[in-house]
C-alpha cells in the first residue's frame, strides 16, 4: 500500500507535467520523481513524504541544501535544529513554482526565550488540482479515461524546535518535533517527525551533525517510510577582505532509508559596493546526492542584503520540465 499511495502522489503531480512537456506519463513521472526525491536510481519510490525531500528556504536552496553547519538565519531549522541556538528574532519565507500548478512554500521563525531559542518551521508541497484518470475497460485497462472529477495532492511538514548553546556558545544543540501529513485525493497519511542536531565552532570552520526525519512511517489509508537521513556538514569563510567575502558550505548526506550517500556543496560570494550599505550576493550549489540519472544537480542564485533584511532568488533548470524559480525573504533581529 505504501508504494500505491506514494505513486498516486507522484502520479498526480506527473500528470500535470505531462500537459506541458507533451511526453508519456511514465517518462514524466520518472523525471519528476528523480527531482522530488533527489534520486532517480537510488531507491526512488521506497519512501513517502516527498515534502521532506525538497530543499526548504531560499538561501539554503541555492546552496543545494548544504546547510547542516549553517547558523545565520531561520532556514537552519529545516536542516539542523542546532542552527537556531544563537539566533535572535529571525524569520524566513520562500516560494517556488514548479511545472503547471505545482508549488513549494516554506516559512520559519525563531524567537529567544531565556537561554533557549524556540522555532517553528512549515513546508508545504502543493500539487494543485488535476483531472482524475481511470483505466479504460474498453482497452483492457491499458489506457485511461477521464472520470469528470478532479484530484488534489498536497503534503505538509510542521516542526517545533528548541535549541541552546554551551561551552561559551561554541557548542549548539537542538531538537525538533513535529508532524508530516500527505493528502492525495481521498488518501490521508500522517506521521510524527523528530530531528536532532549539534554544531561546534572551530577557529577556522563550523562543523555540524544532524539526524533528520525520524518517526517510523506514515500511517492512515496505507503506510510509507519516512526519508530518514544523517548529515555531516562544515562551513567556512574562504575570504573576507574589505568589501569582498567568499564562504563555502558542504554536507555529506546519508539517506538511511534508501541506503544512498552523496555530497552537497554550496558557494556564496558577497560584495559591498563602495559608498553603499547594501550587500550583493551570488550563489551556486551542486548536489552530488542525485544518483545516476538524477536531474539538474546545479542551482544558481543571488541575494540583496539591506541591514536585517535579505531578498533571495534561486534558479534551477529541470531539463524537459523547464526552469523553476524560487523567491525568498529573510530577516534577522537582535537577541
- CATH number of 44's domain: 2.40.128
Sole residue written with cell 528574532: 89
Mean per-residue pLDDT, 98-102? 76
Q: Give the pTM.
A: 0.82
Instruction: Please give the Cα distance from 90 to 73 (Å, whole number).
Output: 7
What total of structural domains would you count in the chain?
1
Candidates 173, 229, 175, 176; CA nearest to 201 is 173
E strand intervals along the chain: 90-97, 103-113, 116-135, 144-166, 171-184, 187-201, 206-214, 217-220, 222-225, 229-241, 244-255, 260-271, 278-287, 298-306, 309-317, 323-332
Q: What are the φ and ψ backbone dihedral angles of 113, each rounded to 5 degrees?
A: -135, 100
Query: How high is the pLDDT of residue 320?
Result: 72
Q: Which three cell numbers stand for residue 331?
A: 530577516
Query: Per residue in 166-223, pLDDT tens?
Result: 999 999 999 999 999 988 777 788 899 999 999 999 999 999 999 999 987 777 655 6
pLDDT digits over 123-177, tens only?
A: 999 987 777 777 877 777 677 777 777 777 889 999 999 999 999 999 999 999 9
User: What does the alpha-carbon distance between residue 27 and residue 30 come to, in Å, rounded to a whole number?
Assistant: 5
pLDDT tens digits along 3-21: 343 444 444 444 433 333 3
User: What span, in angstroms and rounded, lies between the C-alpha atoms of 40 and 196?
Assistant: 27
∠ CA(107), CA(154), CA(295), 5° rounding? 80
Task: Give whole-number Cα distances, 259 to 42, 51, 296, in Å.
Answer: 8, 19, 21
Q: Which domain holds residue 176?
A: 2-332
C-alpha cell, 56: 526548504
Q: Tell me what the mean pLDDT of segment 67-91 comes to.
A: 95
Q: Residue for cell digits 544518483?
A: 291
Q: What is the dihedral of CA 74, 76, 80, 84, to 10 degrees?
A: -40
Strand partners, 307: none
- At 270-325, the pLDDT tens digits run 999 887 889 999 999 999 865 444 556 899 999 999 999 999 999 998 877 788 99
Q: Which DSSP helix (H) or strand (E) runs through 20?
A: helix 2-21
Distance from C-alpha of 57 to C-alpha of 108, rounded to nearest angstrom: 8
Amino acid at each position: 500500500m505504501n508504494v500505491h499511495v506514494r505513486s498516486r502522489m507522484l502520479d498526480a503531480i506527473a500528470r500535470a507535467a505531462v500537459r506541458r512537456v507533451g511526453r508519456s506519463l511514465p517518462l514524466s513521472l520518472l523525471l519528476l520523481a528523480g527531482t522530488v526525491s533527489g534520486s532517480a536510481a537510488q531507491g526512488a519510490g521506497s519512501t513517502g513524504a516527498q515534502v521532506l525531500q525538497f530543499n526548504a528556504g531560499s538561501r539554503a536552496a541555492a546552496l543545494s541544501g548544504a546547510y547542516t553547519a549553517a547558523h545565520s538565519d531561520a532556514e537552519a531549522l529545516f536542516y539542523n535544529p542546532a542552527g537556531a541556538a544563537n539566533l535572535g528574532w529571525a524569520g524566513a519565507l520562500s516560494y517556488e513554482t514548479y511545472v503547471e500548478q505545482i508549488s513549494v512554500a516554506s516559512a520559519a521563525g525563531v524567537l529567544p526565550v531565556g537561554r533557549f531559542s524556540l522555532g517553528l518551521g512549515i513546508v508545504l508541497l502543493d500539487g494543485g488540482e488535476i483531472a482524475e484518470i481511470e483505466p479504460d475497460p474498453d482497452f483492457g485497462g491499458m489506457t485511461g479515461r477521464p472520470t469528470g472529477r478532479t484530484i488534489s495532492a498536497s503534503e505538509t511538514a510542521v516542526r517545533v524546535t528548541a535549541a541552546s548553546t554551551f561551552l561559551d556558545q561554541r557548542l549548539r544543540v537542538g531538537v525538533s518535533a513535529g508532524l508530516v501529513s500527505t493528502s492525495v485525493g481521498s488518501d490521508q497519511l500522517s506521521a510524527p517527525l523528530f530531528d536532532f542536531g549539534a554544531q561546534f565552532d572551530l577557529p577556522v570552520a563550523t562543523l555540524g551533525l544532524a539526524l533528520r526525519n525520524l518517526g517510523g512511517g506514515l500511517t492512515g489509508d496505507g503506510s510509507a517510510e519516512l526519508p530518514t537521513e544523517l548529515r555531516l556538514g562544515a562551513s567556512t569563510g574562504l575570504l573576507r577582505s574589505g568589501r569582498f567575502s567568499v564562504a563555502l558550505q558542504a554536507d555529506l548526506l546519508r539517506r538511511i532509508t534508501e541506503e544512498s550517500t552523496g555530497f552537497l556543496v554550496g558557494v556564496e560570494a558577497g560584495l559591498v559596493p563602495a559608498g553603499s550599505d547594501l550587500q550583493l550576493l551570488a550563489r551556486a550549489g551542486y548536489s552530488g546526492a542525485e544518483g545516476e540519472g538524477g536531474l539538474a544537480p546545479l542551482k544558481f542564485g543571488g541575494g540583496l542584503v539591506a541591514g536585517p533584511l535579505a531578498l533571495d532568488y534561486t534558479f534551477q533548470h529541470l531539463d524537459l520540465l523547464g526552469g523553476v524559480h524560487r523567491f525568498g525573504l529573510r530577516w534577522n533581529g537582535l537577541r
